């Protein structure tokens, strides 16, 4: 997904359901998520971006407000798996 600022309807813009995203997994865990091989990682291998090959590797870090509230995820990904 391209970078976005503000509230964006990513489902409509990108065709990936937000709940079927690696970012949703990162938000649910509340911790950083490092995925060198999305098709092998037990938490994400069954999600559409991994099964389709759209995401090979992923890094997501939850962003928190100063009061601790989760406000989003900063993420990077590649279609290639990392080593």
3 pLDDT band, cuts 50/70/90, is low
Question: Mean pLDDT, to the nearest integer, of 43-56?
Answer: 92
Q: Which residue has 């970078």 as its token pair?
A: 3
The share of the chain scoring above pLDDT 90, in percent, equals 48
pTM of the model: 0.75
Residue 11: is its pLDDT beyond 60? no
* pLDDT tens column, 64-81: 999 999 888 999 999 999
> What are the residue ranges spanned by the domains of the chain?
15-78
Assign a CATH topology to domain 15-78: Beta-Lactamase (3.30.450)
What confidence score (pLDDT) does residue 67 get?
94
- Burial class for 55, CB neighbours closer than 10 Å (0-12, 13-18, 19+): buried
């Amino acid at each position: 997904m391209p970078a976005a600022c503000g509230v964006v309807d990513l489902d409509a813009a990108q065709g990936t359901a937000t709940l079927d995203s690696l970012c949703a997994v990162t938000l649910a865990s509340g911790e950083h998520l490092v995925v060198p091989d999305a098709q092998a990682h037990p938490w994400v291998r069954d999600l559409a971006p991994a099964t389709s090959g759209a995401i090979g590797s992923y890094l997501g870090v939850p962003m928190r407000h100063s009061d601790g509230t989760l406000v989003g995820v900063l993420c990077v990904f590649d279609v290639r798996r990392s080593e």
